[in-house]
Structure 1
Amino acid sequence: MPTLTLNTIEAAVRSSWGPDTTFASADYMARGNGQPSRGQCGTTALVLQGLLGGDLMVADVEHDGRVAGVHYWNVTAGGIELDLTRDQFSPGESLTNVRRVTTRRNSGGSGEQPFLRLQERVTAALRSQSSSSS
């Protein structure tokens, strides 16, 4: 398999998002701005961590002065932050209480199925890109 680039990985992830790969509350989704990345941060960050390693970053999403959810993204072992879903936020939403999550993902939990669907689609997309470039 050829070396993967960040552009290749990003294209595979973005083409793999769907309503069944989100993990966010109905209220959060309803407040959305129409961006395909809305609600995809948790599953996307876990898929990227599986591909690239590193740690997860998490922050509270505040809306109207209250915490309305959390946002996840990645930081590589070299300290580079990667956030493919930063464009999901609506006006009035802000990130606070940023922290690094150094523990690794456990299987199970209510977000497992959306994550597994996204992981499967991204893996297939990367294989397809790999075979078409050979």
Structure 2
Amino acid sequence: MIDLETLRPAVRTAWGADTCDPHDMPNWHPGNPARGQCGVTALVVQDLLGGDLILGEVFAGDTKAGYHYWNRLPDGREVDLTADQFHPDEVVVGGEVQHRPPDAPRRARRQYELLRQRVLAALD
């Protein structure tokens, strides 16, 4: 059985420019590898540990800057493996459970499949 402490390093080493959400690509760099990885990471965590996907909004000051995904595990713990991507002026607010479609995601599907493949290989 996979646990969070085993999964965390496998996910972090699997991130790359090629797993970044295309919308966030201009802000991704090796010094901030979590940038743009929240959606695909939350899906992979859910694949392996179960639970819920949570979606909040990101604000930079008073300006809405985007959205952010993280997980609520079956035991109720909230886990955000990409929380360190944010700059000091960026704040995540809210958080609503999102129902996942039964198929792979339409948005960033290639990135999700690549990240999932890398994580599974690292855990093997």
* Same fold (TM > 0.5): yes
Deviation (angstroms), 1:27: 7.6
Could you list the runs of 5+ residues in structure 2 that have no partner in the other structure? none
Q: For 2:106, what is the secondary structure of its paired residue?
A: coil
Partner of 2:21: 23
* Identical aligned residues as a percent: 41
TM-score (norm 2): 0.88
Counterparts of 2:108 and 2:5, CA distance in 1: 26
Paired residue total: 123
Letter in 1 for 2:100: R
Deviation (angstroms), 1:24: 4.8
Partner of 1:131: none
Could you list the runs of 5+ residues in structure 1 that have no partner in the other structure? 128-134
Partner of 1:49: 46
Matched, 1:87 2:90: no
Deviation (angstroms), 1:63: 1.3
Counterparts of 2:11 and 2:123, CA distance in 1: 9
Moved over 3 A (4+): none
Q: Is the 8 A contact 2:24 2:36 kept in 1?
A: no
TM-score (norm 1): 0.82
Deviations 1:87-107 (A, max 9, x none): 110021111232121x12332
Counterparts of 2:24 and 2:79, CA distance in 1: 26
Q: For 2:107, what is the secondary structure of its paired residue?
A: coil
Deviation (angstroms), 1:51: 0.3
